[in-house]
Structure 1
Amino acid sequence: MQTPDEEAKHRLNRIIDQDRDKLIESVQELVRIRSVKGDPKPSSPFGEGPAKALDKALEIAKDLGFRAANLDGYIGYAEHGSGEDYVAVLGHLDVVPEGDGWEHPPYSAEIHEGKIYGRGTTDDKGPAIAALYALKALRDSGLPISKKVRVMFGTDEESDNADVSYYLKREKPPFTGFTPDAFYPLVYAEKGIINFDIFRDLFEKTSGVEIHNIRGGVAANMVPDLAEAEFTNSDVDGLIRSCIEFADKTGYDIKAEKLGDSVVIKSIGVAAHGSTPEEGKNAIMQLMSFLGTLPLDDSSDISKAIYSINKMVDMETDGSSMGLALEDKPSGKLSLNLGLVNMTDEKIIFTINLRYPVTFEFDDVINPLKQIIKDHGFWVENLKNHNPLYFPVNSPLVKTLLNVFNEHTGSEEKPLAIGGGTYAKEMPNIVAFGPIFPGEPMVEHKPNEYIKIDELVLSTKIYADALYQLAK
C-alpha cells in the first residue's frame, strides 16, 4: 500500500508525463530568444533580449492559467496558492554570449538525439520552465498546500543580480525555496566571488614590434576561447615563424595571418565556466605567453604589462602566483579565471573572475591581491564582491530536498559545495537544486549547450515533489 507521499508523487508524475510535449515546446520558445544583456531602455533595464524573454515566460505562465506579474522588467513571477509565506523557485532567463564553435545554431532550439540544443537550455531557461510546469502539476493535482508557491524569472543573474536587489526592495523574501541553476543533489556551500578589472596606462609605446590591438574573451565568468593581437614588424615573416615555433613547442593552438604589413595572431582556447577554469584552456593567457617571447622594448608599458600578467597569472587557475593559494575542506581551492582583455590607445585592461573558499573572508583575499597587483604596476577598478554561502547540512531545507532527489533517483548522494555563484547568495532562505545530474558534463557557457529531454522531464518531476514537500 502506498504512503500519502508516494501517492502524491505518482499523481504529480502522471500530470507531467501528459504535459511532456508542451514542456519541450515552451523551452524551445524561450531558447529561441537571444537574451544576452544589452543597453538599458524603458521597461528593459537589461536590454531588449532579457525583456523579451521575460515577456515570453510570463505569456507561457498566463497561458497555463497562472497569476503573473512583471516588476518593471527586472524580474517576474507566476504563483499559485495563498498565504503570507511563500515557497520560491528562482530561475533566470538571461544568458551569456553564445561565442563560436556551435554545431547547431545557438538560438534555434533544435532537437537532436534526445537533446534540445541552444544557449540557455541548461543555464537556465530549461530548468526555469521545468519549475513552471512543476507548479502546474502541483496545482492540477489538487494536493493540499499551506503556503503560496512562486516561480520567479530573473533577468540579470549572469551579470550583477540587480534583478534580485530590485525585487527585495519591493517584496519580502521567500520562506524557503531553491534555484534550479547548479547541481543535484543540491548545493549547501558556494564560494565567494570577486569580479574586478586591472589596468595599466600605456604612456611609452613599443619599438620594433608595434602592437595595435589586443582583445579577447566575451564574459568575466567564461574561460575565453579566442584572443587576438594585431601588430606590425619589419620582419613579418620572422614573426610568423616565431608563432609557428611557439605553437609547436607549447602545443597551444595559435596561428598567424599576414594582412599586408600587419600580422594578426589568433589564439584558440577551450571555453569553460568561470567556476571551473581548469576544465578549459585560456586563449588570452596563451596569447600573453606568446607575446612575452617577442622582442618588445623592455622599457615600454605594454611590454611591462605583458611581463607582469604572465608573472601574476600565466596558465594558473588557483591564484598561486598572486599569493592566493587558499583552500578549505568544505569547498576546496580558490579558482581564478582571466576572462577578458581589451587594449586601447591609453591602457590595457584585464578582467578577472575569482572564487574563494567559503570559510575565508573577503579581506583575506583582497588585501594580498591588491598589494601584488600594485607591485606589478597595475591598478584595480570595478571591483564587486559576493560573499560565500554556507548552509547547514542538517537544515530542514537541505534534508527535504536531498531526500526528494534521492527518492526519485534511487541514489544516496550527499550535498555539494561549488565554486559557481547562484541566486542563493542573493535571495535569503534558498539553496541551489539541480539541474545537472551527477556524472553529467557541464555544458553551460560552452558551445553546443544542451539539455537532455529525459532529464528535463525528470527534473520537472523532482521539482514538483519538492514544491509539494516544502509547501504542504
Structure 2
Amino acid sequence: MKKIRTDFQTLFSQYEVDFLANLRRVLREPSVAGPKTFGAPFGVGPKRALETVLQISKEMGFRTGQVADCVGWVEYGPTEDQQSDYFGILGHLDVVDVEDDWQYAPFDLTRVDNYLYGRGVLDNKGPLMATLFALYLIKIQNIEFQQRVRIIFGTDEESGSRDIPLYLQHEKAPIAGFTPDCKFPAVYGERGLLDIQLTLPVTDGSGQQIKALDGHFDKSFIPDHASLILADGTVKHYTGRKAPSNAPELAENVLPPLAADGSQLTGQVGQFFDWVTTTIGTQTTGQNLGIDFQDTASGALQVAFYGLSLENQSMSCHLTCRYPISTTEDALLTQIQTGLLPTMTVTVKRRYPSQITNPELPFIQQLGAIYEADTGLDGTPVTTTGVTYARALSNIIAFGPSFPGQKGIAHKGNEWLKFSDWQMMMQIYYDALIALNAKTDK
C-alpha cells in the first residue's frame, strides 16, 4: 500500500495519543449481549459501551442523540432544520463473548509493536471509532459540509440486528452510506445466509450410548475443542483451530473427527454420525451435499459446520451456508433435502437473502476511487460472505475495515488490528467523508 499522506499524517500524529486512549475506554466495556433490563434492551454491557462512546463524542463537541436505549448517533454538518437528508455511517459496539484462548486481556487495549489487541478492536469498535476520529479531524479544521453526516452506533449486530428497526421507528434512514464492518474495497453484494439444523430422530434407544457431547458450539465460529463422553466411561477429547464461521477453510474443525469416532457406535446414532462424516465431513463448499454452487461475482458456496447436539431423543448437526448471490434459498433447500437420510428434517434457524446494491452508483464508484488513491490497490467493488448492517438499510454498503489478504481474525482469541491499518482506514474514511459531503465552490 502507499504511505500515509503527509498532511493527514501530521494531523493524525497530533491526536494519536488521545485517539488510542479513547479507543481503550470503549474496548474496556465488555459489551457482550445480556439479559434485557431497564434502559438496556440488549444487556448492560452494550448499553455502557454506547454511553461511553456518546460521552467521548460530547467531549469532542459533536451533536449526539440516543434512540430506544440501544442506538446512538453523532452528527456533523448542517442541522436537521437546514438539511433533512444525511449520509450515514453505521457500525456496532456489541461484541461476541470471549473464551480462555486469549494471551492478552480481552477487554482492554494492548499494543505490541504494530499490533493492537482486544475484543472488538477489529469487529467493530476499532473501525467505528476510526470513523468518529476521522470526522473529528474534519470538524477541528472547520471543513463545511453540504449535508449532514451521521455516525450511528448500534448495539445488537452480533445477536440479530434487532436495534436498527427500533432506530427506524424514530429516525429516517440515510440517503446513502456505509458500514465499516467487513472489508475493503467497497462491497456491493452480500451473499445469502442460511443457518440450518439437520435432525435425525433416535427411536431405537441407541442414544443411550452417549452420555454427553461437550463443547462451546456457537454460530459465530468453528469450534476448536469438544468432547465425546460415552456411557461406558470412555471420554474422547478433540482440539483444533478456531476460525470465524465466515472463514471455515481457515479452521481445524473438531467436529469431523468427533463424528468419525461416533460412526463406530451402533443403531441410529451410529448411522447419523456416519452420514455426517460421509456427507459433510471436512468439506467447506458442500460438494457431497450437492450444494457446491458458485458464480463469478461470489465464488463458491461456503459451509460452516459449527455444532452437534443430542437432545429430545434426536441427533442434530448445525450448519451455516453462505450461498452465492445468483443462488436462491429455495434452490439450496431443495438440494439439501435430496441428500438427507429418510427420517431427517431441516429446521431453518436464521435466514438472510442475498443483498445487492448497484455497484455503478456514484458514491460507490467514488469510494472505490478514494480507496485506490490512498492505498494504490484495486478499488473495483466486490462481494462478501459476511452479514452486516448493510442489509438493514437501503443504499448502505460495507466499506472496510479489513484489507486484502486479512481474514479469520474476529470472533476468536487475540483479536487484532494493525495500528498502521487503523491509521490507513482512518485516512480513507477522512478522505471519503470530505469527498462525498464537503461544500465546493461553484
Q: CA deviation at 1:58?
A: 1.6
- C-alpha offsets along residues 186-215 of structure 1, whole Å, 9 cap, x if unaligned? 2122111112223333443338x8211113
Listed as ranges, the gaps of 5+ residues in structure 1 are: 1-8, 234-261
CA RMSD of aligned residues (A): 2.1
Task: Tell me whether 1:315 sits opposite 2:314 in the alignment.
Answer: no
8 Å CA contact 1:99–1:218 kept in 2: the answer is: no
8 Å CA contact 2:201–2:314 kept in 1: the answer is: yes
8 Å CA contact 1:406–1:413 kept in 2: the answer is: yes
- Counterpart-to-counterpart distance in 1, 2:67 and 2:278: 47
- C-alpha offsets along residues 411-467 of structure 1, whole Å, 9 cap, x if unaligned? 334322221121112221111111112234541123211111222122112111111
Task: Tell me whether 1:139 sits opposite 2:139 in the alignment.
Answer: yes
The AA in structure 2 aligned to 1:365 is L
Q: CA deviation at 1:78?
A: 1.1
Q: Point out the more displaced range, 426-435 or 410-419.
A: 410-419
Give 1:362's match in structure 2, choosing from 329, 333, 343: 329
SS of 1:320's equivalent in the other structure is: coil
Find the counterpart in structure 2 of residue 219 from structure 1: 218
Task: Tell me whether 1:387 sits opposite 2:383 in the alignment.
Answer: no
- Counterpart-to-counterpart distance in 2, 1:109 and 1:366: 43
Find the counterpart in structure 2 of residue 268 from structure 1: 239
Structure-2 change in CA distance of 1:441 and 1:303 (3 Å): closer
- C-alpha offsets along residues 32-52 of structure 1, whole Å, 9 cap, x if unaligned? 222222222232222222222
Give 1:48's match in structure 2, choosing from 44, 48, 71: 44
- Counterpart-to-counterpart distance in 2, 1:15 and 1:391: 34
Find the counterpart in structure 1 of residue 255 from structure 2: 284
Give 1:24's match in structure 2, choosing from 15, 20, 27: 20
- C-alpha offsets along residues 382-431 of structure 1, whole Å, 9 cap, x if unaligned? 53221112233322122111111111123334322221121112221111
Find the counterpart in structure 2 of residue 259 from structure 1: none
- Counterpart-to-counterpart distance in 2, 1:153 and 1:172: 15
Q: CA deviation at 1:367?
A: 2.3
- Counterpart-to-counterpart distance in 1, 2:276 and 2:191: 24
The AA in structure 2 aligned to 1:140 is I
- C-alpha offsets along residues 266-287 of structure 1, whole Å, 9 cap, x if unaligned? 2112111212211112112221
Give 1:414's match in structure 2, choosing from 366, 370, 380: 380
- Counterpart-to-counterpart distance in 2, 1:346 and 1:433: 45
- C-alpha offsets along residues 273-324 of structure 1, whole Å, 9 cap, x if unaligned? 21221111211222112222x2x222xx422332232233111111222221
Find the counterpart in structure 2 of residue 3 from structure 1: none
Structure-2 change in CA distance of 1:458 and 1:46 (3 Å): same
- Counterpart-to-counterpart distance in 2, 1:380 and 1:41: 34
Give 2:396's match in structure 1, choosing from 397, 411, 430: 430
The AA in structure 1 aligned to 2:224 is D
The AA in structure 2 aligned to 1:191 is R
SS of 1:19's equivalent in the other structure is: helix
Structure-2 change in CA distance of 1:452 and 1:188 (3 Å): same
The AA in structure 2 aligned to 1:210 is Q
Give 2:318's match in structure 1, choosing from 347, 351, 356: 351
Structure-2 change in CA distance of 1:222 and 1:173 (3 Å): same
SS of 2:72's equivalent in the other structure is: strand
Find the counterpart in structure 2 of residue 458 from structure 1: 424
8 Å CA contact 1:218–1:339 kept in 2: the answer is: yes
Task: Tell me whether 1:73 sits opposite 2:46 in the alignment.
Answer: no
Q: TM-score, normalization: structure 2? A: 0.91
- C-alpha offsets along residues 6-55 of structure 1, whole Å, 9 cap, x if unaligned? xxx87665443322111111222222222222222232222222222222
Find the counterpart in structure 2 of residue 229 from structure 1: 228
- Counterpart-to-counterpart distance in 2, 1:312 and 1:166: 41
Task: Tell me whether 1:101 sits opposite 2:101 in the alignment.
Answer: yes
The AA in structure 2 aligned to 1:124 is N
- Counterpart-to-counterpart distance in 2, 1:468 and 1:10: 17
The AA in structure 2 aligned to 1:386 is Y
- C-alpha offsets along residues 224-270 of structure 1, whole Å, 9 cap, x if unaligned? 1122221233xxxxxxxxxxxxxxxxxxxxxxxxxxxx232221121
Number of residues of Structure 1 aligned to a counterpart in Structure 2: 430
- Counterpart-to-counterpart distance in 2, 1:372 and 1:69: 51
Find the counterpart in structure 2 of residue 256 from structure 1: none
Structure-2 change in CA distance of 1:337 and 1:67 (3 Å): same
- Counterpart-to-counterpart distance in 1, 2:201 and 2:275: 13
8 Å CA contact 1:312–1:321 kept in 2: the answer is: yes
8 Å CA contact 1:87–1:176 kept in 2: the answer is: yes
Structure-2 change in CA distance of 1:160 and 1:291 (3 Å): same
SS of 2:307's equivalent in the other structure is: strand
Give 1:328's match in structure 2, choosing from 279, 287, 295: 295
The AA in structure 1 aligned to 2:246 is S
The AA in structure 1 aligned to 2:398 is A
The AA in structure 2 aligned to 1:219 is D
Q: Point out the more displaced range, 215-224 or 356-365.
A: 215-224
8 Å CA contact 1:12–1:465 kept in 2: the answer is: no
8 Å CA contact 1:213–1:344 kept in 2: the answer is: no
SS of 1:469's equivalent in the other structure is: helix
- Counterpart-to-counterpart distance in 2, 1:41 and 1:376: 45
- Counterpart-to-counterpart distance in 2, 1:137 and 1:191: 35
Q: TM-score, normalization: structure 1? A: 0.85
SS of 1:417's equivalent in the other structure is: strand
- C-alpha offsets along residues 132-178 of structure 1, whole Å, 9 cap, x if unaligned? 11111122221121111111111121221111222223322111111
Q: CA deviation at 1:119?
A: 1.4
8 Å CA contact 2:73–2:150 kept in 1: the answer is: yes
Find the counterpart in structure 1 of residue 344 from structure 2: 378
- Counterpart-to-counterpart distance in 2, 1:20 and 1:81: 24
Structure-2 change in CA distance of 1:186 and 1:217 (3 Å): farther
The AA in structure 1 aligned to 2:220 is N
- Counterpart-to-counterpart distance in 1, 2:432 and 2:407: 24
SS of 2:229's equivalent in the other structure is: strand
Structure-2 change in CA distance of 1:86 and 1:280 (3 Å): same
- Counterpart-to-counterpart distance in 1, 2:255 and 2:30: 26
Structure-2 change in CA distance of 1:118 and 1:457 (3 Å): same
Structure-2 change in CA distance of 1:349 and 1:216 (3 Å): farther
8 Å CA contact 1:87–1:174 kept in 2: the answer is: yes
